[in-house]
Amino acid sequence: MSSNVEGTPIEILLIEDDPDDVWETRRMLSDNKVTNQLHVVQDGEEALAFLHQTGKYSDAKPPDLILLDLNLPKRDGRELLSDINADESLKAIPVVVLTTSQAEEDILRARELNCHCYISKPIHIDQIIMILKSLDDYSITITKGALKPNEE
């Protein structure tokens, strides 16, 4: 995975089956003027197709960041995280687990599989911005006026 040029929006893949959570994530990013490209897939199998650029995703750009729900149909997020971690071409992509689960076993398993961060839903824009800023090789693109002066 190549580094982005400073100021270039990153590609974010949201793997989420709940339409309300997808809508809320899009709204949160839009309301806060985050202009990074957000791609959405709804299950684990569709996510693998996107990540491996197969089928209808053959022209998809590889994501720079994955936002992963754990509870997915077809192939759940735990299995998907294991698949990502086992694949040399994917394991360098930071994965942020987004879930309603507070189960210690889920948190420990996600950390064992190298997830970058584990966030309980609902998520807030400050969490996403903090995560994006913590990724050394990445940038977040926010249109002017999105942040208060003391946040910049």
CA–CA separation, 141 vs 52, rounded Å? 26
Contacts of 148 (CB under 8 A, 6+ apart): none
Strand, coil or helix: 100: coil
Which fold would CATH assign to domain 19-145? Rossmann fold (3.40.50)
Strand, coil or helix: 36: coil
Q: The whole model's pTM is what?
A: 0.76
Q: What percent of the chain shows pLDDT beyond 90? A: 24
Instruction: Convert the pLDDT of each residue in 67-120 to its tens digit.
Output: 988 889 998 888 998 899 899 999 888 888 887 767 777 777 777 777 777 777
Average pLDDT value for residue range 50-55: 95
Strand, coil or helix: 41: strand
Q: What is the band of 139 on the pLDDT scale with cuts at 50, 70, 90?
A: very low
Measured in whole angstroms, the distance separating CA 106 from the mean position of its chain's CA atoms is 17
What single-letter amino acid sits at 104? E
**Structural tokens at position 109:** 């398993």
**CA angle (108, 112, 39) in 5-degree steps:** 95
pLDDT value for 146 = 37
pLDDT value for 111 = 77
Q: Domains of the chain: which residue ranges?
A: 19-145
In sequence order, which ranges of the chain are alpha helices (DSSP H)? 19-31, 44-51, 77-86, 104-112, 125-134
CA–CA separation, 53 vs 149, rounded Å? 40
pLDDT value for 11 = 85
Average pLDDT value for residue range 125-144: 56
Q: What is the band of 46 on the pLDDT scale with cuts at 50, 70, 90?
A: very high
Q: What is the band of 148 on the pLDDT scale with cuts at 50, 70, 90?
A: very low
Instruction: Convert the pLDDT of each residue in 19-35 to its tens digit.
Output: 988 888 888 777 766 66
